[in-house]
Structure 1
C-alpha cells in the first residue's frame, strides 16, 4: 500500500508541473499579441480621395509617387471625370476629400452650397483651348475662323452643361457666330478625354480640347489656340471638401500642387 501511495503522489506532482509553467508563460504571450496589434494600427495609412477634372489625369498620376514619398502616411486615390459630374457626385454625398476643378464656375457651385472649406480654396493652374484635327486625316484649316459646316461632318466638343471645356468651346463658337451653324455637326463628349479620343479615332473630323490634352497625344494636330478674349479665363481651383475627415492631409496635398515640384509637373504637361 505504501508503494502505491508514493506512485500516486509522484504522478500528481508530474501533472502539476505543466500547469505551473503554463501560468508563468501566459502573460508573455498576451503581451506579444497586444504589441502586434498596436503596430498594425500605427502603420495604417490615411486614404485621401481626390475628385479631379479629367484633364489633370497625367499630371496628377506623375505627382502621386513624389507626394506619397514625402507623406508616407497618406495614400492617394483619384476619381477623374468632368468637373460638372464630380460636383453632382459631391452634392449627392459621394466621398471626396479634395475637389480639383477645371473651372471657377463648378467650384463656385460647391462653395455656394457650403460643400467646400472656403478658406482652403486656391487656384493652382491655367490652360487654353485649342482646335485639333486627326494627324493623318487633317482638314485644310489654320484657324478657328475657318471652321465651316460645309467641310465638317462631325465636330467633337465637351458637353457644355457639365464639361468645362465644352462651355469654353461654346463661348468661342458663339463669339465667332459659329455655334448655331455647327449644331447639326456636334458630337458631345462626357469629358475632355473622350473628345480627344473622338478625334484620335477619326470619329470626328475636328474638335476642341485643352492644350494640355492635345500635348499628350501623337495622333492629333493642333490647328490653332483660341484667343483668351473669346472665352472666360481657364483657371483650375482646388479646395478641401466640407465632409473631409482628413483636413490636415488634404490641405497638405493642395499645398503640394503649388510647390516647386508641383509647378514643374504641371508645366511639363502643358499647363500654365
Structure 2
C-alpha cells in the first residue's frame, strides 16, 4: 500500500512538473512571437491609393511622415477615384484609400471592403474654369463655354473622375450640358486635364482649385457656383484587407493632424476633421 502511495506521489509530481514546463514553453513561444512581430514592424511599406488631385500635397506629406517614422515607407498610387475603386474591388493590395468624392468610397463600403470605423471626411475643395496663361479668349464665367470661340474643353471622364462628375452637374444646372459635351475632350484624371490646358491642346479645362494653384501656365477664369453642384468632399478609409492595418490607421491619424492640415491648406484644400 505504501509502495502504491509512493508511486502515485511520484506520478503526481511528474505531471505537475511537465505542466509547469509546458506553460513556460508556451509563454516563451508567445513572447518570441511578439518580439518577432515587433521586429517585422520596423519595416513597413504602406500602399496609398489617392485621387490624382492630391499628388502634390501628399508627396510633401510623405517626406514629413517618413522622416518622423523610420522604417515606414509610403508608396502612392495616384489616379482617378473611379479607377482606384475598381482596382481595389479587383483585389489590389491597398492599405488606405482617399477618394475625391463619396461615391467611390460608398461603393467600396457597400461591398464591405473598408473598415467603416476609420472612414472620415478629410478634405474639401472648389472647382474652377482655367485657360492657358496666354489665352486671348473673352470668357468670364462657366456659361461662356458655349461660345463659338471655344472649340475644345478638357473634362475628367465622368464615369470615373469625380471632377468630371462635378463639372457635368454644374453644366446641367446651368442648362448648358449638351452644348459643352459637343466640345468635350475627356481625360483619365484631373492632372491630365491640367496638362492639356497648360499646353494649349484645349481652349479651357475644368479642374480643382488646388490643381490650378500648382501651375503657373494657366489662369483661373471663374470658380464654379457652389449652389450648382454637390459639395466636394474627399473621404478616406483604411481597407479591411490591409496587411498593415494599425500602421495605416496611424498614417490616417497623421493626415488628420495639425502638420497635415498646414500642408493641405497651403495647397488650397479645406481641412474637415
If the length of structure 1 is used for normalisation, what is the TM-score? Answer: 0.83
1:192 aligns with one of 190, 193, 200: 190
SS at match of 1:181: helix
After TM superposition, list the pairs within 5 Å mapping 1:53-72 onto structure 2: 53-72=51-70
Name the structure 2 match of 1:122: 120
Alpha-carbon distance, 1:72 to partner: 1.3
2:264 aligns with one of 236, 258, 266: 266
1:95 aligns with one of 93, 96, 104: 93
SS at match of 1:182: helix
2:230 and 2:218 map into 1 onto residues whose CA distance is 25
Name the structure 1 match of 2:74: 76
- Work out the number of aligned pairs and report it: 233
1:50 and 1:149 map into 2 onto residues whose CA distance is 41
2:180 aligns with one of 179, 182, 195: 182
**1:250 lines up with 2:248 in the alignment:** yes
SS at match of 1:77: strand
Contact 2:157 2:186 in 1 (8 A): yes
Name the structure 1 match of 2:15: none
SS at match of 1:123: strand
Contact 2:42 2:72 in 1 (8 A): no
- State the Cα deviation string for residues 118-141 of structure 1 (Å, max 9, x = none): 100001110010000001124111
1:107 aligns with one of 101, 105, 108: 105
Alpha-carbon distance, 1:54 to partner: 0.3
1:43 and 1:209 map into 2 onto residues whose CA distance is 39
Alpha-carbon distance, 1:44 to partner: 5.0
Contact 1:122 1:237 in 2 (8 A): yes
Alpha-carbon distance, 1:43 to partner: 8.1
Contact 2:100 2:235 in 1 (8 A): yes
1:142 aligns with one of 140, 143, 150: 140
Name the structure 2 match of 1:8: none
Q: CA distance change for structure 1 residues 250 and 42 in 2, over 3 Å: closer, same or farther?
A: closer
Alpha-carbon distance, 1:70 to partner: 2.0
Alpha-carbon distance, 1:55 to partner: 0.2
SS at match of 1:209: strand
1:101 and 1:156 map into 2 onto residues whose CA distance is 21
Alpha-carbon distance, 1:232 to partner: 0.7
1:257 and 1:43 map into 2 onto residues whose CA distance is 20
Q: CA distance change for structure 1 residues 128 and 43 in 2, over 3 Å: closer, same or farther?
A: closer
2:163 and 2:265 map into 1 onto residues whose CA distance is 19
Cα RMSD (Å) = 1.3
2:180 and 2:99 map into 1 onto residues whose CA distance is 28
Contact 2:61 2:263 in 1 (8 A): yes
Alpha-carbon distance, 1:150 to partner: 1.1
SS at match of 1:187: strand
Q: CA distance change for structure 1 residues 43 and 141 in 2, over 3 Å: closer, same or farther?
A: same
